[in-house]
A and B are shown apart, each in its own frame.
Chain A
Amino acid sequence: MPETTFLDSTELVLNMGPQHPSTHGVLRVILKLDGEKVMGTECVIGYLHRGVEKIGENRTYLQFAPYVDRMDYVAAVSNGLGYCLAVEKLLNIEAPPRAQVTRVILTELNRVASHLLWLGTHALDIGAITPVFYTFREREEVLKIFENYCGARLTTHAFRIGGLQYELYDGFEEQVKAFCDMFLPKVDEYEELLTNNRIWVNRLKGVGILNADECKEFGVTGPVLRAAGVSWDLRKAQPYSGYEQYDFEIPTAQNGDTYDRYGVRMREMRQSVRIIRQAVDKIPAGPIGKTPKVIKPPVGEAYVSIEAPKGELGYFIVSDNSTQPYRVRVRPPSFINLQALDRMVRGGLVADVVAIIGTIDIVLGEVDR
């Protein structure tokens, strides 16, 4: 056994986070390093744990709705839609057509807003500062639509069980159409900035590969799964809220690396605009739905999952025929996608960890709940 010197490699344990800016919140990753090479990771979560599921057991069905907005606060509208659909399934009611179309428009706008925030921060992690200013500029237009519609920009609380609370405001269609017309050239602009840029390509191509089988093993959903070549989108697979009426494609890619996930999300934004355009043209007249006075679902359980911007967002609610849920379980996409981090990072470089955390698109409010 030769004497060990300082030149010999030993495992170095490095804490990344919870205050690291590129962990997108309060994620702590314990990296085991051999030089620049990552030998393994361990995620420590729970710094943002608020016990949302437990809070749900102590609130009425109507009162719990604002809390779900605070899990994935970047895509609050999608969270609200998932929760409302789950309770509506328990109650065995359905929102009227006008409410359903409005819900689709708002959730798709929210998908665009979520992807824009992801694009800006992800590019910022890689070192491209410009896109974040442009994406936030466009995101602002989406948030203005939300503010005009329901009075809040981020934690919207836009939908109620059984339909909507607010009627569409005057000029909603025009504002949404103007946004669609303005937005598509802007996506081309982001692509001009990034897609061919040599630094961007070199940092992302072949980094953090997760193939289709591994994705299925980990239960990964959303753009991460689609970038691996699996054409799985709940909007097509099990349509909810009238998604079967719209004509759109599921963008997929083959390699399952970080660059493909970027491409998939960019194309998804374009598809969202396509859905919004179709939906705005045919908002039916009629009632927007009324919240039942007393919400007391019969004994039973319901699981509803929707395609949130980050993947499959599921709500499992157990009812014991009282005004409060017996149990609320949330299947957050970020939490489950985060599991794949170790597989993607292993063998890569420290700088790739930042790129990979960015590409999974996690929101820590949703991981910890």
Chain B
Amino acid sequence: MNKFLRSIFLVDLFQGLWVTFRNQNPKYIYTEQYPGERPKVAERYRGAPRLNINPDNGETLCIACNLCALACPETLIVVGSERNEQTRRKDLTTFTYDLSRCMFCGLCEDACPVDALELTQDFELAAYTRDGAIWDRQMLEEGPRPTRYKF
């Protein structure tokens, strides 16, 4: 009898409706207003790569050891270097990073012995051309310049 009354008065449906009603409070809004309000990504976020430079003298930290290129599963890093006869070390000449094939696994970052290559918190990586996704040394050192929208 009780079950019959419950089904007549649609108790099960109103129970669900009550849950929906409870969640109507505007303090439960979770939507992010993305271009207007930039989401705060985590400190360890693996986004756009960057080649760090020494802030004191502006020279690159990279020692052209090629470990990142060997660690990369997709072999998308190409490191160019030439031997400097004065210091007897390898100097970095070119560095290309093909973002179109990158899966942001972070293995290159782990392999780097001097913390020169780093995956940063930038996440806006769209480009108009395929070539635009291949970053050269200059681009990697400057980092991306994301568009700021005003609302």
Which residues from chain A sit less than 8 Å from chain B, CB to CB? 59, 62-67, 70, 130, 134, 137, 140, 144, 147-152, 155, 157, 165-166, 169, 189, 192-194, 196-198
Contacts and interface: CB of A to CB of B under 8 A. Distances in A.
Given A70-B103, A149-B44, A155-B103, 7 more contacts: A62-B107, A63-B107, A66-B103, A151-B46, A152-B45, A196-B11, A197-B12
Given A147-B41, A148-B43, A150-B44, A189 B104 contact: no
A151 B45 contact: yes
B119 interface: yes
A197 B45 contact: no
Interface of B: 7, 11-13, 15-16, 18-20, 23, 30, 41-46, 71-73, 103-107, 110, 119
A67 B106 contact: no
Given A137-B30, A151-B119, A166-B44, A67 B73 contact: yes
Contacts of B73: 59, 63-64, 66-67
B118 to A, nearest CB: 11
Contacts of A59: 73
**Which 8 pairs across A and B sit closest by C-beta, in order of nearness?**
A66-B105, A151-B44, A63-B73, A151-B46, A196-B12, A147-B42, A148-B42, A193-B16
Contacts, number: 69
A289 to B, nearest CB: 14
A140 B104 CA distance: 20
A64 B73 CA distance: 7
B16 A157 contact: no
B106 A157 contact: yes
A140 B106 contact: no
Contact of B20 (A66, A130, A155, A198): A130
Nearest to A59: B73
10 contacts: A63-B71, A66-B73, A66-B103, A67-B73, A148-B44, A151-B106, A152-B104, A165-B106, A194-B16, A196-B12
Nearest to B73: A63
B19 A192 contact: yes
Nearest to A150: B44
A194 B23 CA distance: 16
Contacts of B19: 130, 189, 192-193
Contacts of A192: 15-16, 18-19
Contacts of B107: 62-63, 66
A155 to B, nearest CB: 7
A197 B71 contact: no
B49 to A, nearest CB: 13
A140 B30 contact: yes
A151 B103 contact: no
A62 B42 CA distance: 25
A194 B12 CA distance: 9
A189 B19 CA distance: 7
Contact of B13 (A151, A165, A198): A198
Nearest to A190: B19
Most buried by B among A64, A65, A193: A193
A197 B16 contact: yes
Contacts of B103: 66, 70, 155
